[in-house]
Structure 1
């Protein structure tokens, strides 16, 4: 199962914060640090994707050619 199927944004962010704390503690072995770092990169990318998708949705709601509020249908490709 992928990160996307298992975690909400908030849960992923909390896990990422825990990883940062572990890495900053300096108490992990090099091997464990590398594993945590890899997990942190995956979580970071997951969170960044969610934020990017959310930003696109917000822009689709507030932008149109004449400056009026308009809600446009959203799909993951960003095209109508």
Structure 2
């Protein structure tokens, strides 16, 4: 299986292909179908990673003073 980043790059390429106006409709549709499948797979993988991060962050075995600083990940 390809790395996440490689599959994300492929998804971006497919998006560019779909936006082109000089390709046949069947080629655009094929790229769209591949893109949808790829996007769903990437989303599932991100959900798994997010779950793992939540588990790690909620680990009550770690002393409070050893909790990681997550300022970079805070959302506004």
Query: Which of the five TM-score ranges fits, normalised by the shorter chain?
Result: 0.7 to 0.9
Give the Cα separation in 2 of the matches to 1:38 and 1:51.
Answer: 20
Instruction: Say whether 1:57 aligns with 2:59.
Output: no
Q: Of the two structures, which has the highest relative contact order with CA contacts closer than 8 Å and spacing of 6 or more?
A: 2
Give the Cα separation in 2 of the matches to 1:8 and 1:64.
Answer: 28
Deviation at 1:8, TM superposition (A): 1.2
Structure 2, unmatched stretches of 5+, are 65-76
Runs of 4+ in 1 over 2 A off after TM superposition: none
Task: Find the residue that maps to 1:7 and give its secondary structure.
Answer: coil
The structure that is helix-richer by fraction is: 2
**Match in the other structure for 2:41:** 46
TM-score relative to the length of structure 1:
0.70
Give the Cα separation in 1 of the matches to 2:21 and 2:44.
Answer: 29
Q: Give the number of aligned pairs.
A: 64
Structure 1, unmatched stretches of 5+, are 1-5, 70-80
Give the Cα separation in 2 of the matches to 1:26 and 1:43.
Answer: 22
Instruction: Say whether 1:18 aligns with 2:32.
Output: no
Deviation at 1:26, TM superposition (A): 1.6
Root-mean-square deviation over aligned CA pairs? 2.1
